């Protein structure tokens, strides 16, 4: 494990974006051999997405042969809802780069068969061999995606009941009303993350730094 302390959220985002760009360009992806990238949502990666968009517009990277898998999605929230992770990703990243729509993989929290949705997501990840780089964030209590600290290291994509603390933390995106925050979410598992070739976790703020220190 490598720990890279930086002073500001902007510096963290720019470092992460530069690392992603370097990995993609070194890989030299093609249509038959795409670079597979795992992505998070929330406040933490926003500066990274902004920097990635800027690098793309500057001609430093193309996402034409990049395949993405997102970490999680709320259950029961329409994908057009402004706080769905589908909307978040398109608003903050996908709509501003040259990634083909068919290369974007997002969990469907409104699937008629949730278990089948989770199983098919894992199967699609496996069909690419592995995720080359998974960028993630961490919650105040140390959760990654919607995997709480006690989650099994072998866990796979599944439905999770969100803890009260997680719903309170996410209520800032729902006008401060915890009752508007969905109670369930689909999330990749810890095992899914650990199968990636590389995992890069972004940690911002003193509360999350304490969670990192507590897990170290």
What is the per-residue DSSP string for 122-173?
A: HHHHHHTS--SEEEEE--TTS-BTTB-TT--TT--SEEEEPPHHHHHHHGGG
> Which residues are known to be catalytic?
72, 141, 143, 148
Q: How many CB atoms lie within 10 A of CB 169?
A: 20
Q: Do 23 and 115 contact (CB within 8 A), yes or no?
A: no
Q: Do 83 and 42 contact (CB within 8 A), yes or no?
A: no
CA atoms within 13 A on the CB side of 58: 9
């Amino acid at each position: 494990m490598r720990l890279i302390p930086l002073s500001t959220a902007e510096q963290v985002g720019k470092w992460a974006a530069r690392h992603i760009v370097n990995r993609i360009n070194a890989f030299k992806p093609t249509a038959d051999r795409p670079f597979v990238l795992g992505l998070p949502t929330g406040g933490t990666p926003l500066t990274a997405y902004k920097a990635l968009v800027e690098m793309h517009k500057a001609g430093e990277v193309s996402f034409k042969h990049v395949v993405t898998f997102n970490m999680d999605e709320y259950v029961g929230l329409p994908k057009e809802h402004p706080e769905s992770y589908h909307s978040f990703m398109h608003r903050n990243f996908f709509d501003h780069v040259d990634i083909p729509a068919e290369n974007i993989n997002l969990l469907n929290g409104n699937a008629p068969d949730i278990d089948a949705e989770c199983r098919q997501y894992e199967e699609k990840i496996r069909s690419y061999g592995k995720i080359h780089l998974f960028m993630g964030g961490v919650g105040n209590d140390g959760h990654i995606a919607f995997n709480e600290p006690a989650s099994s290291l072998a866990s796979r994509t599944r439905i999770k009941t969100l803890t009260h603390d997680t719903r309170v933390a996410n209520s800032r995106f729902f006008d401060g009303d915890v009752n508007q925050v969905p109670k369930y979410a689909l999330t990749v598992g810890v095992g899914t993350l650990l199968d990636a070739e590389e995992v890069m976790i972004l940690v911002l703020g003193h509360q999350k730094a304490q969670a990192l220190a507590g897990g170290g």
